[in-house]
Amino acid sequence: MSCDKARIRALNDDLRQHLLGGGAVMTTGIAALGPEAVQRLVKTIAVFDDFCNANDPHEEEHDFGMFDFEGAKVIFKIDYYDSTMTHHSPDPADPAVTERVITLMLADEY
């Protein structure tokens, strides 16, 4: 794994596991599950470790996952924006120029 990929992975894991280093949003479908379910979902994502080929399309960055949650197929994904939140980050390995956002959604909302 390259140094950049290792750094991106660590930053993504901080966001996914501890909600540190970025923002989080959820779709209306996730919000409709109710606050207690959302709290359980956030805890499930924090311990998620099924980063197989289908769940880690950018090769070890830990920026995507899909799994069943209480009868619903759920997706989380992490996107990298520049500091203005209008363009892609110029360097996702550098938190000084990257705003990370994890999005929680139902698979049928993707």
pLDDT tens for residues 56-106? 776 689 999 999 999 999 999 999 999 999 999 999 999 999 999 999 999
Q: How many structural domains does the chain have?
A: 1
Per-residue pLDDT tens digits for 12-68: 999 999 999 999 999 999 999 999 999 999 999 999 999 987 777 766 899 999 999
The pLDDT assigned to 59 comes to 67
> Taking the CB of residue 60, how many other CB atoms lie within 10 A of it?
14
Q: Secondary structure of 3-38 in the HEC alphabet?
A: HHHHHHHHHHHHHHHHCCCEEEEECHHHHCCCHHHH
Range of the domain at 48: 3-109
pLDDT of residue 104: 98
Write down the pTM of the prediction: 0.93
